[in-house]
């Protein structure tokens, strides 16, 4: 049965910071064993009442009581090399583990990292040591090393929480390939079915790199996840509203890029349902124009809505509306106010 202390995961900056509760102990014992001291040196080399020599005991005693952590670690490791079969080994292991705990509590991260790595060579499957190294690496700004240690912990103690921490770690170091790998794991875990922010991260990531098809792929996943959110509070409702607008807009832009204008219009309409914004109406106008001459009148009204909605797109929308109107009315804008009245009316009706 595993008896190491439980470690707790925190989430500042999407990276794990480990805090150990209680004394960190070796699995074979809960507290330091009491070493029986041998007879005085003037007596026999080995006492009949002990199975270790006076030399062994003195070496252990000096190492375990050395106040300098760096020297203590070296001395304890040297003891192990010199007396690999010593019955004092449980005491030595306790002393080393207790030293690591002191270093973690004292925030001596450089030494904690070094001595934990040395101990790890002798105890390659000890999850505590990977946790110590991850803690030290995180505090030293070695984020890639930190997340690699978290992966090793995951191999021994897989959990959804830790998987999310690892994903966050790879976000921190901007490793998109590893982010995608861990997203695939997370997306199969029911705990994250409604985590729309997890999916929308990739929408933003691929949008910024102008990869609209990939951004739209994750936008669809994000919307499905958003629909699974139950009883959202006011803050979450606002996040969902913004997410639905952004995702539907990306989907609409991707469809436009594929010349699927009749499919893009409903996507922009859904985005506008979540939140009115000038660009939504503008791109509907663009789609309507491209669908043929019979849709130009509707395009004019859409451009006018974009203008009335305001924002950076408004001047461009106004210019396009006037240009199309003039093309249909012998080069002048007589009667254009009727179109504006229609645009205002539809906006009032929520269209």
Every domain of the chain and the residues it spans: 1-27+53-153, 193-275, 276-351
Half-sphere exposure of 35 (CA within 13 A, CB side): 24
Cβ atoms within 10 Å of 323's Cβ, excluding its own: 11
pLDDT at position 38 is: 40
| pLDDT category of residue 40 using cuts at 50, 70 and 90 | very low
Higher pLDDT, 39 or 331: 331
Fold: same for 1-27+53-153 and 193-275: yes
Higher pLDDT, 220 or 33: 220
Containing H/E element for 224?
Answer: helix 212-226
CA distances from 120 to 113, 133, 155, 250, 342 (A): 10, 10, 16, 48, 74
pLDDT at position 50 is: 62
Distance in Å from the first CA to the final CA of the chain: 65
| pLDDT category of residue 33 using cuts at 50, 70 and 90 | low
Which residues share a beta bridge with 7? 20
Average pLDDT on 126-138 reads 97
Summarize pLDDT for 307-345 with one digit per residue, the tens. 999 999 999 999 999 999 999 999 999 999 999 999 999
Rounded Cα distance between 31 and 21, Å, is: 15
> Considering only 26-30, 107-111, 226-230, 277-281, which range has the smallest mean pLDDT?
26-30
> 45 pLDDT exceeds 70?
no
pLDDT at position 71 is: 97
pTM, two decimals, is: 0.78
pLDDT at position 93 is: 96
| pLDDT category of residue 193 using cuts at 50, 70 and 90 | very high
> 46 pLDDT exceeds 90?
no
Asked whether the beta carbons of 260 and 251 are under 8 A apart, the reply is: no
pLDDT at position 34 is: 53
Average pLDDT on 225-251 reads 97
pLDDT at position 351 is: 87
pLDDT at position 228 is: 97
> Considering only 17-31, 136-150, 198-212, which range has the smallest mean pLDDT?
17-31
Fold of 193-275: 1.25.40
> 223 pLDDT exceeds 80?
yes
Tokens of 351: 């269209």
3-state secondary structure of 324: helix
Average pLDDT, the chain: 88
CA distances from 128 to 32, 78, 132, 134 (A): 18, 22, 6, 10
Task: Classify domain 1-27+53-153 by CATH architecture.
Answer: Alpha Horseshoe (1.25)
pLDDT at position 1 is: 33
Tokens of 61: 């005693």
Higher pLDDT, 324 or 350: 324
| pLDDT category of residue 63 using cuts at 50, 70 and 90 | very high
Higher pLDDT, 186 or 11: 186
């Amino acid at each position: 049965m595993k008896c190491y202390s439980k470690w707790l995961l925190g989430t500042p900056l999407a990276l794990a910071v480990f805090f150990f509760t209680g004394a960190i102990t070796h699995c074979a014992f809960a507290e330091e064993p009491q070493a029986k001291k041998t007879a005085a040196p003037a007596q026999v080399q080995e006492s009949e009442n002990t199975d270790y020599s006076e030399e062994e005991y003195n070496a252990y005693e000096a190492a375990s009581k050395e106040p300098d952590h760096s020297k203590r670690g070296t001395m304890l490791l040297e003891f192990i090399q010199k007396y690999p079969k010593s019955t004092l080994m449980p005491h030595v292991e306790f002393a080393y583990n207790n030293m690591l705990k002191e270093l973690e509590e004292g925030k001596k991260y450089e030494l904690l990292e070094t001595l934990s790595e040395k101990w790890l060579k002798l105890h390659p499957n000890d999850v505590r040591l990977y946790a110590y190294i991850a803690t030290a690496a995180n505090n030293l700004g070695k984020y890639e090393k930190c997340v690699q240690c978290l992966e090793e912990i995951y191999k021994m103690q897989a959990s959804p929480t830790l998987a999310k921490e690892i994903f966050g770690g790879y976000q921190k170091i901007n490793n998109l390939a590893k982010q995608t790998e861990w997203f695939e794991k997370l997306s199969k875990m029911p705990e994250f079915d409604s985590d729309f922010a997890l999916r929308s991260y990739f929408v933003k990531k691929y949008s910024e790199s102008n990869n609209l098809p990939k951004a739209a792929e994750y936008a669809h996943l994000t919307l499905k996840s958003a629909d699974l959110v139950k009883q959202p509070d006011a803050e979450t409702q606002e996040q969902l509203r913004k997410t639905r607008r952004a995702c539907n807009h990306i989907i609409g832009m991707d469809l436009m890029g594929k010349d699927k204008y009749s499919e893009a219009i409903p996507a922009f309409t859904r985005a506008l349902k979540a939140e009115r914004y000038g660009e939504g109406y503008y791109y509907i106008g663009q789609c309507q124009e491209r669908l043929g001459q019979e849709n130009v009148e509707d395009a004019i009204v859409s451009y006018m809505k974009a203008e009335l909605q305001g924002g950076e797109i408004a001047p461009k929308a106004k210019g396009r509306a006037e240009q199309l109107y003039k093309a249909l009315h012998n080069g002048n804008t007589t009667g254009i106010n009727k179109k504006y009245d229609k645009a205002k009316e539809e906006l009032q009706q929520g269209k």
